[in-house]
Chains A and B, each alone.
Chain A
Amino acid sequence: MIEVNNLSFARGNTLIYKNVNFKIRPGELLLIQGANGVGKTTLLSNIANFIDPLEGSITYNNLVIDNNIASESFLYIGENNFAHDSLTLNQNIEYWLSIHNVKFNNSIKNKSVNYFFQKLNLDKKFYQLSFGQKKKLQLLLLMLVNKPVWILDDPLSGLDDRTIINLNTLFEKKLENKGIIILTSHQNITLNNYKTLKLI
């Protein structure tokens, strides 16, 4: 369970948000919503332990989140792309799987690629992909890296309808397996049951 208590964050002299509180249990999804600039991405960065809050605490299974807990349990997919432009898709997949210390399995990789891309030449250079395809490559990690908590910053932007449906199915499976999903999005997701947090 992730528990956030009285969380505040300031950048310089500007208070971004104050006294944010929520709890997410295994099998639950939290959708963080709000206008641009209210601190949705910053809140995700706080939860993933990239930046320290001004006040308040964030715990995962009653332990304060530190680097070890974050690297063992959290998978973060941000807005910006992390792949290397000069590498091929295959090399990028191998590289990021080895960074996350995932045992490489060709058949699982091919299944995951087919799930998101249907048909794609993996020997293409990353920079040759479209915006949506680049986004999909990031989301491939969700299928290939097994971590209990997904932290996703606007995962639906730039995706076609079919991929959004596939992604929602993936979310459902994750929640069935008692995973936790925290995401920000300006779009509504099609799942039946999820919590929302509106930042003002």
Chain B
Amino acid sequence: MIKNFFKLISIEFQLMLKGSVFSFVLYCLLIISCAIFSLSLKYESIGINAPLCFLYVMIFFISLFKVEKIYSLNFDEAKVHQYILSPFSLEIIVFVKNMMIYLNMIIFFFIFSPLILIILNIDLSYLLKINILLALSLLSIIFISSMTASITISKNNRLSLTSILTLPLFVPILIFSMAITDLIDFNTGRMYLFFVAYFLLNLAFSPLLTSFALKKLSV
């Protein structure tokens, strides 16, 4: 079973690589929107907070799009039937998928981040800290997005509206991320722990809720 699990991970990784074109397109759109944002504020004196806030909101939307796309492709009814009858629980499959989406998103962010910071006129000395901040918070964003996506792909349109209920779960991430950037040089190790704690909390209930929604709503 363990051998098959690793085989499953390796093929999921290949699937993730094949889905990279969509991520690349999304990051290109992010760069364009960052450029528009910077150009519109070129005569204003702005600190690090406004561009970072903009970056965060855009990353949040990109992640949501990415997860929605992967879930609508990989969790259609026929596939969910096979996953339900698999010896691996659907929760494990959801976890593996989410981790692959996370890897895909964060690797692209690491590649694009220097360019994004230059466009947003953020000092490159913040590069590592912003990458760490985003790497930690993106985990929770992906896991919450998976809940949203699993409800959105429901066959029942009225039920898919309930995905709005998951959106407040994103708020703590955005608030804490902005709070960290308020503190000089982000030297707040304890506040980074919030993201780890929040991710662990999400890890506990997100795969359960996601797989429940997939079983009950998309079958």
B201 within 8 Å of A (CB atoms) = no
Docked CA distance A104–B18 (Å) = 23
Of chain A, the residue at the smallest CB distance from B82 is A82
Residue A91 contacts which of B3, B4, B11, B86 (CB distance < 8 angstroms)?
B11
Cα of A99 to Cα of B8 in the assembled complex, Å: 7
Q: Which of A25-33, A66-74, A190-198 contacts B (4 or more CB under 8 A)?
A: A66-74
B interface residues, how many (CB within 8 angstroms): 27
| A87, B82: Cβ atoms closer than 8 Å | no
Nearest chain B CB to A84 CB, angstrom units? 6
Shortest CB-to-CB span from A32 to chain B, Å, is 17
1/0 per residue, CB under 8 A from B, across A78-113: the answer is 111110101100010011111111111000000000
Any B CB within 8 A of the CB of A48: yes
CB distance from A180 to the nearest CB of B (A): 15
Determine the chain A residues whose CB is within 8 A of the CB of B79 once the complex forms: 82
B8 to chain A: closest residue by CB: A98
Tell me whether A50 and B219 are in contact in the complex, defined as CB-CB below 8 angstroms, given that A87-B14, A94-B11 are known contacts: yes
| A129 CB–B CB distance under 8 Å | no
Of A49, A86, A96, the contact of B15 (CB 8 Å cutoff): A86
Q: Report Cα–Cα, A91/B10, bound state, in Å.
A: 10
Q: Is the CB of B84 within 8 A of A98?
A: no
A99 proximity list for chain B (CB < 8 A): 8, 82-83, 86, 88, 93
Nearest residue in A to B84 (C-beta to C-beta)? Answer: A50
Query: Known: A51-B219, A71-B87, A101-B88. Contact between A95 and B78, CB under 8 A?
Result: no
- With A70-B84, A99-B88 known to touch, is A86 a contact of B18 (CB < 8 Å)? yes
A71 touches B84 (CB 8 A): yes
Question: Nearest CB to that of B87 among chain A residues?
Answer: A101
Q: Are A98 and B87 in contact (CB under 8 A)?
A: no
CB-based contact B11/A76 at 8 Å? no
Cβ-based interface call for A167 (8 A): no
B126 within 8 A of A: no
Pick from B11, B14, B215: contact of A98, CB under 8 Å: B11
A residues in contact with B18, CB < 8 Å: 86-87
B182 within 8 A of A: no
Q: Could you tell me which residues of chain A, from 26 to 84, have a CB within 8 Å of some CB in chain B?
A: 45, 48-51, 67, 70-72, 74-76, 78-82, 84
B42 contacts across to A, CB distance below 8 A? none
Q: How far is the CA of A75 from the CA of B84 in the complex (A)?
A: 11
Q: Are A96 and B219 in contact (CB under 8 A)?
A: no
> Given known contacts A84-B15, A95-B8, A95-B11, is B86 in contact with A48 (CB within 8 Å)?
no
Residue B85 at the A interface, CB < 8 A? yes
12 interchain pairs, CB-CB under 8 A? A49-B84, A71-B86, A76-B82, A76-B85, A80-B76, A82-B82, A87-B15, A91-B11, A97-B4, A99-B93, A101-B87, A104-B7
**Residues on A close to B: CB < 8 A?**
45, 48-51, 67, 70-72, 74-76, 78-82, 84, 86-87, 91, 94-104
Identify 5 new A-B residue pairs, CB closer than 8 A, beyond the known A80-B78, A91-B11: A70-B85, A78-B81, A87-B11, A98-B11, A104-B7
Binding site for A on B (CB under 8 A): 1, 3-5, 7-8, 11, 14-15, 18-19, 74, 76-79, 81-88, 93, 215, 219
Top 8 A-B pairs, shortest CB-CB distance: A80-B78, A82-B78, A98-B4, A98-B7, A86-B18, A101-B87, A95-B11, A98-B8
